[in-house]
Structure 1
Amino acid sequence: MTLTTAAPAQPSQQSLHGSARDLAELERLKVLHNGEKLALTFSDAEFERRLAGLRDIMAEKQLDAVVLTSYQGIKYYSDFLFTYFGRSYALV
């Protein structure tokens, strides 16, 4: 007995990716510019002082890591000011 199967039909490029205009728009959206780097709101020495204080607390409590999830904690220890739009943030 011999079985013969037909090759599966290939979907058109348009059905896979939408129109050529949509594809061009996707290519444009892949380029994300972060903008200019902003200056820190506190000095490197202050940054190191804050980290040293956190490391002292971690040693006292025998912690290997700290996960900060509050807006204030993340800002205080990293100087990263985020805006919450439904996406959670954490700093380890």
Structure 2
Amino acid sequence: MKNYTYPIDLSWSTDEITSVLHFFSKIEAAYETRVDTTELLVAYDHFKQIVPGKAQEKQLDREFEKLSGYSTYQAVKKAKELGKGWLSLGK
């Protein structure tokens, strides 16, 4: 995993920040190695409990992609398309 900051909302609780960071780490794994699609989608479900709105989700995706080069939207989309299994989006 690379070394950069994550887009977080400082109004979130510690548990919420932990869940969002866990989701971002699953996205990183999808691009850098591989990730179990079920684990990624469970992490996404927890993320959506914290960030239920599409606008904020898109904003966080843009910020995360700008910082890391990885798209949360594309990773979740591919995981849903794949169903159960392993997802690897590495180049």
Superposition TM-score tier, normalisation by shorter sequence: under 0.3
Determine which structure has the larger helix proportion and give its number.
2
- Which is bigger in relative contact order (C-alpha 8 A, separation at least 6)? 2
Determine which structure has the larger strand proportion and give its number.
2
Structure number with bigger Rg: 1
Scaled by the length of structure 1, what TM-score is found? 0.24
Scaled by the length of structure 2, what TM-score is found? 0.24
